[in-house]
């Protein structure tokens, strides 16, 4: 397995950029809960070992790396709410969360490596979109870990308030348990009404 590396960041350092942030979001696909983004500026002299795409890590390893990144890097985490997702669509909301995470970094980064194939339109800092960035750049991988852990814990907390949907294990994604609970228990305030399975339940003819 090829792990993400620091090559993209090193090339940017060689061009004179000093503070390079990796940016990633998590939570586009779930039927419930916010979308979460993180921005991380790693210390080139102190990069935690084992950083990888958060989806390829065990929960235990992800938590250990989450702690390491928080202790050794600069970071910010931000959300876009369910109401915002429903109002402006999930793609724009995920970009809004990214923009908020970047804006929360202080001092501001001077270059951004953004996971995906689009640069959010609200960003004014020089940026590069990196397809499958969490598998290529350690900065983006670190951001993916922080964002996923933050969102997973948030969904565990929401599961306490709304038991039965299985959010503590499915994180709001449309698992069999979640879809059955929607039918049996109905729609909560945390469900995305613009998403087809939820929308169809609310507006059945």
The reply, when asked if residue 24 is annotated as ligand binding, is: yes
How far, in Å, CA of 95 to CA of 88, rounded?
11
Q: Which residue reads 């909301």 in tokens?
A: 93
How far, in Å, CA of 191 to CA of 198, rounded?
7
The reply, when asked if residue 86 is annotated as ligand binding, is: no
Q: Is the dihedral of CA 139, 93, 78, 193 positive or negative?
A: negative
The reply, when asked if residue 25 is annotated as ligand binding, is: yes
Contact 140, 113 (CB under 8 A): yes
3-class secondary-structure state, position 87: helix
Q: Is the dihedral of CA 62, 64, 65, 70 positive or negative?
A: positive
CA distances from 16 to 12, 66, 130, 173 (A): 7, 28, 20, 41
Instruction: Tell which residue, 147, 16, 172, 138, has the closest CA to residue 76.
Output: 147
How many residues are recorded in the chain? 205
List 32's β-bridge partners, or say none: 191
How far, in Å, CA of 44 to CA of 124, rounded?
24
Binding site as annotated, residues for a divalent metal cation: 24-25, 115
Annotated binding site: 24-25, 115
């Amino acid at each position: 397995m090829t792990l993400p590396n620091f090559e993209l960041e090193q090339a940017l350092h060689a061009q004179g950029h000093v503070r390079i942030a990796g940016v990633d979001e998590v939570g586009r696909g779930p039927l419930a809960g916010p979308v979460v983004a993180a921005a991380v500026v790693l210390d080139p002299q102190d990069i935690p070992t084992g950083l990888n795409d958060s989806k390829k890590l065990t929960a235990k390893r992800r938590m250990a790396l989450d702690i390491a990144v928080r202790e050794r890097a600069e970071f910010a985490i931000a959300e876009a709410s369910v109401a915002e997702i429903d109002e402006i669509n999930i793609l724009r909301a995920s970009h809004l969360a990214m923009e908020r995470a970047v804006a929360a970094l202080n001092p501001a980064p001077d270059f951004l490596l953004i996971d995906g194939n689009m640069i959010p339109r609200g960003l004014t800092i020089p940026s590069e979109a990196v397809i499958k960035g969490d598998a290529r750049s350690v900065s983006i991988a670190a951001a993916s870990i922080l964002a996923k852990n933050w969102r997973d814990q948030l969904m565990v907390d929401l599961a306490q308030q709304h038991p039965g949907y299985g959010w503590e294990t499915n994180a709001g994604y449309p698992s069999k348990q979640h879809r059955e609970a929607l039918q049996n228990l109905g729609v909560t305030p945390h469900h995305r009404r613009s998403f087809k399975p939820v929308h169809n339940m609310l507006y059945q003819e």
